[in-house]
A and B are shown apart, each in its own frame.
Chain A
C-alpha cells in the first residue's frame, strides 16, 4: 500500500508546483511530474508479484505474466505527456519573447 501512497505523494508534489509556483517553466515541470506519477501508478496497478515480462519465448519457465494492458496504456500516456509538454514549452518560449520574463505575475492575464 505504501508504494501507492508514495506515488500519490509524487502526484501531489507536481500539483503543488503547478498551483503555487509563479514561473512558467516550473509550472510545466510540475505538470510533467504529475504525468510521470500517473504513469507509474498505472504500471504499479498491473504488477503481479513473481510475474515476468509479458514476452513469449521458447525457454519460458512460468506462465505468470504481469498485466500487459496497463503497460500499453502507459505507452499511450507517455506520448500524451510528451505532446502536452512540447506544446506548453512552445507557448512558454513565445510568451518569453514577448515579455522577456517567465514570471506570471508580470504577464497580464495569467495572474491568479
Chain B
C-alpha cells in the first residue's frame, strides 16, 4: 500500500511541477487538477472516503471556476525574462535543508502507520453511543468538534461575501467625491 502511495505522490509532484512551469495557463490548470485528483486516490488509500468524496467534488468545481476565470481573461503565460539557474539552485538547497531539518525533528515521532491516539481514543471507543452517529467522522465533525464546523461554514460564508464584495460593479458611489477619493 505504501508503494502505491509513493507512486501517486510522485505523480502529484510531477503534476505540480508541470502546473507551475507550463507555458499555457489552461494546461497549467489541468495539470493542477492531476494534483487534486491524485490527492483523492491518496485519501482512498488512507481509509478516508469522506475526504475523498469532498475532495473530488471540490476539486472539480474549483477546476471549473479556474477554467472559467482563464477563459474570461487570457491563457498566455507571461514570458520569463531569463531562466535563472541561481533561483533554481537556491530553491534546491533550501528544499534539501528544510527536508533535513524536518527529518531530524520528526525522527523520534511515531512512524507512518503506527499512530497512537490520545484525544481520539475517546472518540473511537463507544463514540456511537455518545453521538449516535455510525460515521465517526461525521460524529466528530458535527458533535465533538461541531464548533469547528460552525467556524468552517462561516469561513465559506465569509469567502462568498468576499467574492461578492470584490466582484461588485462599482466600489464608490459616483457622487462628486469620486475623483478625489482615488
Complex A–B touching at CB under 8 A: yes
| B137–A82 CB distance below 8 A | no
Which chain A positions have C-beta within 8 A of B19? 17, 26, 29, 33
A84 shortest CB reach to chain B, Å: 7
Which chain B positions have C-beta within 8 A of A9? 13, 95, 99
Which chain A positions have C-beta within 8 A of B73? 93, 96-97, 102
What residue of chain B has the Cβ atom nearest to residue A58's Cβ? Answer: B134
Identify which of residues 142-179 in chain B touch chain A, using a CB-to-CB cut-off of 8 Å.
Answer: 145, 148-149, 151-153, 155-156, 158-160, 162-163, 166-167
Q: Which of B39, B58, B135, B167 contacts A90 (CB 8 A)?
A: B167
For the A-B complex, the count of residue pairs with Cβ-Cβ distances under 8 Å equals 235
In the complex, B112 has a CB within 8 A of chain A: yes
What residue of chain B has the Cβ atom nearest to residue A51's Cβ? Answer: B47
Q: Classify the secondary structure of A's interface with B.
A: helix
Q: Which of A17, A44, A87, A96 contacts B112 (CB 8 A)?
A: A44
| B16–A40 CB distance below 8 A | no
Known: A6-B6, A76-B148. A43 touches B46 (CB 8 A): yes
Known: A79-B156, A82-B58, A102-B74. A14 touches B16 (CB 8 A): yes
Known: A46-B115, A55-B136. A69 touches B120 (CB 8 A): yes
- A selection of 24 A-B contacts at a CB cut-off of 8 Å is A1-B112, A9-B13, A26-B19, A26-B25, A32-B32, A36-B12, A40-B39, A43-B42, A43-B43, A43-B51, A48-B115, A55-B137, A68-B140, A69-B119, A69-B140, A71-B137, A76-B141, A84-B159, A85-B62, A86-B62, A86-B163, A87-B163, A89-B65, A91-B166
Nearest 9 A/B pairs, CB to CB: A83-B159, A49-B113, A54-B136, A69-B120, A103-B78, A72-B140, A17-B20, A68-B136, A90-B166
